[in-house]
Structure 1
């Protein structure tokens, strides 16, 4: 019995030579017939033979992969293209001109690049499907707490949220919850310094276990209490090295999963929670106004870029740009010039969720 390859070649020869011989017989009467027939048959044979030549198939597959990769990169770069609408509430109180006097809403900017990515504000059932059975960890300072609060708001009901809010905002403490309905485990780790984050990552490596989604961020405490951008940059480089050694692509784990031990074979989805825009005149202590200046924030942002910890600069973590989100929302979205209204962190959560959809090639 002929194999698939031999049968394909035989069929191709029949398709190629029989019609071409017939067309050649009529060559003296109609040269155009021969030319057009040969062109058509050559293309047809090429299509039929492509699966039997791995090099050609691999080339076509590689080209398709490049196109998909380009689309993904384009969508990643468009995730932060968000516009804001901030307007006074109907019950605006001019005697108490704080952020609660304003209604805020956000939406992805209308453009061809953004529209093609089909970004969505995910509803609770969609978030439940996406994070079902996942271990999510967020580590950092108070900015990270607000991020966790916005994430929980998408998976918990109002009664559960009240309980979570009280537990989450205990000063300088960790927090953990398991959402039984979707089997999601969420940890918040109080880690205000980059060295704390490095210790956390090294703990993952020792235990050979790490979360499915890891969100980290630091800088505010370092800026306030150490106030040394260069030192911050060094700590970021150490963190980057620790994260790189943790990833499954390292020799310890192998390219197709772990070689030994019981570590998960899935690569973690890694995100960096950026520094917020600091409005110096609104900061609520003299020490903050003295230490956390615009120049210092720019220096810290420069060190973040030069550390190459972010994907856009060749690193492992994708940026959740709280700086641009808070800047675009504006002064009416904060009361203390550092911590912003929940809508800012809500936008960051939806950016993360859509990034997960892109990484997993999913659409809801």
Structure 2
């Protein structure tokens, strides 16, 4: 934009300077030359000052940076898996168009730099707990992970950890139902404190214990209303967010929805699960999620961590019990989140 304005100014200066000189060369009177050059100068000056008010009449450079950011965000979940002697490995599928996005597998040092001084909250069911484990694996060493393993895997319990070296605060909040997630969000408002990163996901418990698609949809709409009312900013309105940042009136929050996995009915470990937790029911629950417009792709405020796609690509051999999967899936989903943070914060490690 700046370079184009400079070029336009140079062209105008050349016109004002050389056209009158050319006219003088044709032996016109001095008064005619002065009159024409003055009129030309005033006309060009007025046109240049009017350009910002009539952008449709003048070609504008495309917002390439914003376009590339949104384009790369849409490619984040395009991950492929490969079976090998050690189990499974993963990487981004470069054939999908993500090659130019320069997605990165981050090491412990990179993750520490990215999350330095942050507060990260993960709220949900057992899928969310496995996501938190994968995140901690990137932050802590093997010895530290062994020390906290028993506490982290206590059933139906919260977990809190502070990594003093980098000032990172991590919270896992056991929230198996969407109503629990709504309580988490309203709790932030009540306490007047908000995390930098919030990852939420729920659905499997509701499917098993209620099997009521419409009730699930209602609870998602209530969660959306709570988000709009309780959080200091809405990721839905990018321009308002940028204005708030510039004014220093709001914190930049990063909101994610942890999707449900692909269900493999034959591997589910109880008859009740096999009857209630079918792929068809999972599809119906996902439709309610899309209809609620919670997700950014549908105009909402949460970026989808598409566990369903990741688990489907990893396949049956990647699943432990038909609903939980190997560590590689949750590692990939954590890296999807981390690369989204890099893109949205305009960082490059």
1:360 pairs with 2:315 = no
Query: Which of 234, 243, 250 lines up with 1:265 in the alignment?
Result: 250
The equivalent of 1:225 in structure 2 is 209
1:345 pairs with 2:293 = no
Query: Which of 59, 71, 74 lines up with 1:74 in the alignment?
Result: 71
Gaps of 5+ in 1: 1-9, 29-37, 90-101
- Asked if the contact 2:217/2:288 (under 8 Å) is kept, the reply is yes
Query: Which of 147, 152, 172 lines up with 1:188 in the alignment?
Result: 172
Give the RMSD, CA atoms, in angstroms. 3.1
Q: Secondary structure at the match of 2:262?
A: coil
The equivalent of 1:142 in structure 2 is 126
Go from structure 1 to structure 2 and tell me whether the alpha carbon gap of 1:18 and 1:295 turns closer, same or farther (over 3 Å shift): closer
- Asked if the contact 1:74/1:113 (under 8 Å) is kept, the reply is no
Query: Deviation string for 1:137-191 (max 9, x for gaps)?
Result: 0000000011001101111111111122221100111001011111110000000
Alpha-carbon offset, residue 57 of structure 1: 11
Larger helix proportion, structure 1 or 2? 2
Moved beyond 4 Å, runs of 4+: 10-16, 56-59, 62-65, 254-258
Q: Secondary structure at the match of 2:138?
A: coil
- Asked if the contact 1:236/1:307 (under 8 Å) is kept, the reply is yes
The number of aligned residues is: 318
Q: Secondary structure at the match of 2:121?
A: strand
For the residues of structure 1 that align with 2:113 and 2:80, how far apart are their CA atoms?
27
Alpha-carbon offset, residue 66 of structure 1: 3.6
1:155 pairs with 2:139 = yes
The equivalent of 1:7 in structure 2 is none
Go from structure 1 to structure 2 and tell me whether the alpha carbon gap of 1:249 and 1:162 turns closer, same or farther (over 3 Å shift): closer
What's the TM-score, normalizing by structure 1?
A: 0.79
What's the TM-score, normalizing by structure 2?
A: 0.83
Alignment of 1:1-364 (within 5 A): 16-26=15-25, 55=52, 66-87=63-84, 89=85, 103-111=87-95, 113-249=97-233, 265-364=250-349
Go from structure 1 to structure 2 and tell me whether the alpha carbon gap of 1:334 and 1:12 turns closer, same or farther (over 3 Å shift): closer
- Asked if the contact 1:210/1:264 (under 8 Å) is kept, the reply is no
Alpha-carbon offset, residue 110 of structure 1: 1.6
Q: Secondary structure at the match of 1:85?
A: strand
- Asked if the contact 2:122/2:132 (under 8 Å) is kept, the reply is yes
For the residues of structure 2 that align with 1:64 and 1:12, how far apart are their CA atoms?
18
Comparing 173-182 and 105-114, the one that deviates more: 105-114
Q: Secondary structure at the match of 1:176?
A: strand
- Asked if the contact 2:103/2:339 (under 8 Å) is kept, the reply is yes
Alpha-carbon offset, residue 112 of structure 1: 7.3
Go from structure 1 to structure 2 and tell me whether the alpha carbon gap of 1:57 and 1:181 turns closer, same or farther (over 3 Å shift): farther
The equivalent of 2:4 in structure 1 is none
- Asked if the contact 1:273/1:319 (under 8 Å) is kept, the reply is yes
- Asked if the contact 2:75/2:96 (under 8 Å) is kept, the reply is no
- Asked if the contact 1:133/1:182 (under 8 Å) is kept, the reply is yes
For the residues of structure 1 that align with 2:158 and 2:103, how far apart are their CA atoms?
32
- Asked if the contact 2:194/2:231 (under 8 Å) is kept, the reply is no
Query: Deviation string for 1:279-334 (max 9, x for gaps)?
Result: 00000011111110111111111111111111101111110010000000001111
